[in-house]
Amino acid sequence: MAAPEPLGLSRVLVLGLARSGSSAAMALAQAGCDVVGVDADATRDVGRLRQSGVEVHLGGEIELTAVDGVEVVVKSPGVPSSEPLVARARRVGVPVWSEVELGARLLPQPIVGVTGTNGKTTTCELIGAMMRAEGRPVEVAGNVGRPLTSLEPDERGDARIVCELSSFQLEDIDRFRARVAVLLNITPDHLDRHANVEEYTSAKLRIFENQSPTDVAVIPRFFGSIPGQGRRIEFDQSGELLAEPRLPGPHNRANAVAASHAAMAAGVADAAIAEGLSSFTGLPHRLETIRTAAGVRYVNDSKATNPEAAEQALRAFPQARVILGGSLKGSSFDRLASVARETDVRSAYVIGEAAEQIADALAREGVSNVLAGDLATALACATQDASDGEVVLLAPACASFDQFSDYEQRGDTFRALVERL
């Protein structure tokens, strides 16, 4: 396996020092670079970075001209492109990289990349399960789990890498190349960050732009043109599988077909692909059954952070009592309300910042709903209304930042509340 190219950088500015930014700053420091780390959060814990020699500036205590003396700005995915330091870098011709761009340059082995609006994490972990079934080490990294730049040299060996890629990571790649690149789907999302659907789509499709004719692009059937030169493989949920997946819902069958194509393209044996399909039971917060109490099944799909993901959950569990709502991302809830009617939702319990918008959309479709306000109240109401054999489903269709730190905290709270019933 070829060694990675030397970075050839002397001074780099890392913007955003949360998980991926901190990892990038540490990797650069270990590579011998002079690193400047910047974060708007004055309370960020940066002791380890300072001990490693990183020059840290917190709470906006840095001049815009700081970018003039660096060769690259590494931007964390949580930092918008409109941030003044980013704008200044582009204006003076300083390249702006995402953390995955840096990570890919530091790693010697090829990468299987997965993007899409929904299903990325499940598909990455399913590919990882198929690869592990062959007995080889696998790192599932990127937008899920570990940052690419956190993979230490002594961990790499012959490990395969599966990388989940968000639009925020892909919008700032340069030479990043996925030897196998998977696009699961594209529906409107993150319109609070991207100017429009076209910009969001363009960012997603960058996963293909550096592919050569020896690479593989796995895309939904009948999808339009894509950049790059990768060999095109199309999929849908009706595709043949070496074993039926254990995950519920037609969307997860489509994820399984895409994962199988990706694993085959990466050289995984059929027997290992079949074992991965038949053994993988899913991840927390993704159509996760918490328990059945008094005949009522409680399902946690807190990762359904946009309307399309919630629609898939409703199709997987028709006639559910569903908890919807959270913080707004610029999405419409009209189609979600239509799907709620089509899947015969018994009642919806709406919470958070988006509650009234969702309630209005549901009312227009004649779907019964309750303005519950918060998760605990919504669960209490749903439990009181539910009958033996019914499902209470948390599928918010929204981000979580109005009442929780992230979707995981929201799902953990739901689990704790259900376990106390």
The pLDDT of residue 156 is 45
Q: What is the distance, to the nearest Å, from the Cα of residue 298 to the centroid of all Cα atoms in its chain?
A: 24
The pLDDT of residue 60 is 79
The pLDDT of residue 4 is 59
Mean pLDDT of the chain: 94
Q: Which of 294, 384, 295 is nearest to 347 (CA)?
A: 384
The pLDDT of residue 154 is 40
Give the model's confidence band at 195: pLDDT under 50 very low, under 70 low, under 90 confident, else very high: confident
Residue 250: which residues within 8 A CB-CB, separation 6 or more?
237, 312, 315, 316
The domains of the chain, with CATH numbers, are 11-94 (3.40.50.720), 105-279 (3.40.1190.10), 288-419 (3.90.190.20)
Percent of the chain exceeding pLDDT 90 equals: 86
Whether the Cβ atoms of residue 263 and residue 127 lie closer than 8 Å to each other: yes
Q: DSSP labels for 320-372?
A: -EEEEE-B--S---HHHHHHHHHTT-SEEEEESTTHHHHHHHHHHTT--EEEE
Q: How many whole angstroms separate alpha carbon 52 and alpha carbon 35?
A: 10
- Using one digit for the tens of pLDDT, what is the confidence trace for 369-391? 999 999 999 999 999 999 999 99
Q: How far is CA 296 from CA 349, 377, 405, in A?
A: 16, 17, 28
- Using one digit for the tens of pLDDT, what is the confidence trace for 312-339? 999 999 999 999 999 998 889 999 999 9
- Active-site positions? 120, 143, 190
Residue 394 sits at φ, ψ, to 5 deg, of -90, 110
The pLDDT of residue 191 is 65
Whether the Cβ atoms of residue 130 and residue 263 lie closer than 8 Å to each other: yes
Q: How far is CA 118 from CA 15, 49, 342, in A?
A: 27, 34, 21
Whether 65 shows a pLDDT value over 60: the answer reads yes
Q: How would you classify the pairing of strands 288-293 and 180-183?
A: unpaired
Q: What is the pTM of this model?
A: 0.86
- The predicted model gives 58-83 an average pLDDT of 91
- The predicted model gives 187-192 an average pLDDT of 73
**Low-confidence winner among 103-112, 181-190, 406-415 (lowest mean pLDDT):** 181-190
Give the model's confidence band at 1: pLDDT under 50 very low, under 70 low, under 90 confident, else very high: low
Whether the Cβ atoms of residue 154 and residue 196 lie closer than 8 Å to each other: no
Whether 92 shows a pLDDT value over 60: the answer reads yes
Q: How far is CA 38 from CA 34, 56, 77, 232, in A?
A: 13, 6, 14, 40
The pLDDT of residue 187 is 86
b/e map 35-56, b = 16+ CB within 10 Å: bbbbbeeeebebeebeeeebbb
Tokens representing residue 210 in the block: 């550096």
The pLDDT of residue 3 is 55
Q: How many whole angstroms separate alpha carbon 241 and alpha carbon 275?
A: 11
Tokens representing residue 22 in the block: 């901190």
Q: How far is CA 313 from CA 89, 302, 400, in A?
A: 42, 10, 17
- Which amino acid is it at 85? L
- Using one digit for the tens of pLDDT, what is the confidence trace for 264-296? 999 999 999 999 999 999 889 999 999 999 999
Tokens representing residue 13 in the block: 């500015």
Tokens 């060694």 sit on residue? 3
Tokens representing residue 154 in the block: 């002594």
In the three-class reduction of DSSP (H, G, I as helix; E, B as strand; rest coil), residue 158 is classed as coil
Whether 366 shows a pLDDT value over 70: the answer reads yes
Residue 420 sits at φ, ψ, to 5 deg, of -90, -5
Whether 133 shows a pLDDT value over 50: the answer reads yes
- The predicted model gives 48-58 an average pLDDT of 96
**Low-confidence winner among 35-39, 59-63, 120-124, 376-380 (lowest mean pLDDT):** 59-63
Whether the Cβ atoms of residue 288 and residue 300 lie closer than 8 Å to each other: yes
